[in-house]
Amino acid sequence: MTQPKSSAPQGTLIVVGTGIKLVSHVTQAAQQAIAQAEVVLFVAGDALVATWITRLNPAAESLHVLYAPGKRRRQTYREMTARILAEVRQGRQVCAAFYGHPGVFVRPAHAAIRQARREGFPAGMLPGISAEDCLFADLEVTPLPAGWQRYEATDFLQQQRQFDPTCHLILWQIGVIGQRHFPADDETGRAGLRQLTHTLLESYPAGHEVIVYEAAIYPTLAPVIQRQPLARLPQANVTPLSTLYIPPVAAPRPDPTMLRRLGLANP
């Protein structure tokens, strides 16, 4: 295990989120971390956000250059992690910034923090506004009382996840189901969307309304909210940013025995 040298400045790592909507979603703490870091390594969801980061801290470098056509995403994520750790090992105060919430579907963020701590470097994370946070507001839904389930769409299918159709169900990344390489392939994505629909029709009626959702990334734009019957999901206009929201198909049935044990049963 590599140990930081006591004679040299100790590197640190702070991972932050820049939110979904252009600049307005960045917390004060995240902005301060970006501005004060010696090195900023970032993945921005938009060119304007990238410009804002580089203006806030000229010592900022985009990690998006590590993506390449035909390259596996996991290889890119490993290279991002290595790039972040290389700066920390040089004794620098490093800020890694990712769009949305840095702890949600951001493999390099978690990997870099774990590795930095294993090597003895201080490392931590600051939260950001995620697409799920935007979904709660834009669709005006709440996890209570029905409950909330969410899965990455490819994982949902390949692991044959067991779920409760009387709960809210969120499926992330429905536009890139089964895709491991960059960039996304539309034909493969459509095949995955058809398989997802087939699987969901085993638990929901064909006419059950579902919503394909994308949070707005600019203050002047409205979110994408496509309401349609589940059976027509394969024809939906989806992108790599699309999320599927499925409302409960019915109200859950309370367990009378448990109600009595909890003292919640009606007289």
Domains and CATH numbers, the chain: 12-125 (3.40.1010.10), 131-246 (3.30.950.10)
Q: Name the least confident of 10-14, 96-100, 248-252.
A: 248-252
- Catalytic residue selected from 73, 107, 150, 194: 73
How many other C-beta atoms are found inside a 10 Å radius of the C-beta of residue 152? Answer: 18
Interval 107-157: pLDDT, tens: 999 999 999 999 999 999 999 999 999 999 999 999 888 899 999 999 999
77 is catalytic: yes
Interval 25-82: pLDDT, tens: 999 999 999 999 999 999 998 899 999 999 999 999 999 999 999 899 899 999 999 9
Q: Tokens standing for 173?
A: 């990344």
The full DSSP string for 27-41 is: -HHHHHHHHH-SEEE
User: The whole model's pTM is what?
Assistant: 0.89
Cα distance between residue 21 and residue 26, in whole Å: 9
pLDDT in the model for residue 186: 77
- Catalytic residue selected from 77, 204, 213, 245: 77
- Span 8-25, average pLDDT: 91
Residue type, 49: V
- Catalytic residue selected from 99, 204, 213, 245: 99
Q: Are strands 243-246 and 224-229 parallel, antiparallel or unpaired?
A: unpaired
CA dihedral 102, 107, 109, 115 (to 10 degrees): 160
Could you tell me if 13 and 121 are in contact, meaning their C-beta atoms sit under 8 angstroms apart?
yes
Q: Does the structure show a pLDDT above 80 at 182? A: no
The residues pairing with 228 across neighbouring beta strands, listed in sequence order, are: 210
Could you tell me if 20 and 129 are in contact, meaning their C-beta atoms sit under 8 angstroms apart?
yes
